[in-house]
Amino acid sequence: MSNTPHDLAQDFPEHADRISKLRQTDAHFARLMDEYHDVNRAVHRAETDVEPVSDAHMQDMRKQRMVLKDQLYATLTAA
């Protein structure tokens, strides 16, 4: 397992410009990005034992991150 943070611009480099644009022009997308960033940071801190959490909590955070990432990706790829 990698302890590298899952930055959206790195995960979806082909959408980097759209991520930047939507973050500035779409309030819902910006809110989802903020929430994703917070959860992603918490997962990374837990994975690196900066802020250890239980296995169950780690799984919940990862699931939440995945749901947010799916929502963000759906917006990025919408016509």
Q: What is the mean pLDDT of each run of 10 residues along the chain (79 residues)?
A: 73 94 96 96 94 96 97 91
pLDDT of residue 14: 95
Spans of all domains in the chain: 15-77
| AA letter at 43 | V
- What's the pLDDT score for residue 16? 93
For residue 38, is it left (φ>0), alpha (ψ between -120 and 50) or beta?
alpha
Q: What is the pLDDT of residue 69?
A: 96
